[in-house]
Amino acid sequence: MHELSIVASIVDSVTESLAPYPGAQVKEVRLRVGALSSIVQESLDFCYGIGTDGTALQGSRLVVDILPVIIHCKPCDRDVTLDGVQSFRCPLCGEPSMDLRQGREMDIDSIEIEDEAEVKA
């Protein structure tokens, strides 16, 4: 249940990034989260409402893009996408690989804001 801590980090980070846009309201926050990130989306959604209450993010939509795991297979000499996180073998040749190219991301990709400053201008 570390989703509340995750939400707190998102709030800090987004609030910080709003400095150039005084008075802006956050409408949407988009995350890029790897399949290996151990974030549970239902839990994150639940905590998002609580953790953003009273902040500039209050009432905003949370969109989570889940990225599958990609490993590099040496014998095949290519990056391959895995179906899940139950086996770290190349789906083409069966060779195990720990050369991870994607799957551990926990990033804030972008935010959508309504910029009141622009309206006044």
Partner 1 sequence: MTTRIVELRRGILKKNDELAAGLRDRYTTAGVLVLNLVSSPGTGKTAFLERTLTGLKAHGARVAALVGDLETDNDARRLASSGAPVRQINTHGICHLDAEMISHHLDGWELADLDYLFIENVGNLVCPSSYDLGEKIRVALLSVTEGEDKPLKYPTMFNSADAAVLTKIDLAVPCEFNRAEAIKNINEIRPGIRIFETSAKTGAGMDEWLAYLAEERARRA
Point out which residues bind partner 1 (CB under 8 A). 1-2, 5-6, 9-10, 12-14, 17, 21, 27, 31, 36-39, 85-89, 96-98, 104, 106-116, 118-119
Q: How far is the CB of 70 from partner 1 (least distance, A)?
A: 13
Least separation in angstroms between residue 85's CB and partner 1 is 4
Backbone angles phi, psi at 10, to 5 degrees: -65, -45
Compute the least distance from the CB of residue 102 to partner 1, in Å: 13
Smallest separation (angstroms) from partner 1 to the CB of 54:
20
Rounded CA-CA distance 15/57 in Å is: 8
Distance between CA 79 and CA 72 in Å, rounded? 4
Say if residue 89 is exposed, middle or buried (CB neighbours under 10 Å; 0-12, 13-18, 19+): middle
Residue 78 vs 117, nearer CB to partner 1: 117
Q: Which is nearer to partner 1, 53 or 116 (CB)?
A: 116
Euclidean distance between CA atoms 80 and 69, whole angstroms: 8
Q: Which is nearer to partner 1, 54 or 119 (CB)?
A: 119
CA-based diameter of the chain, in Å? 60
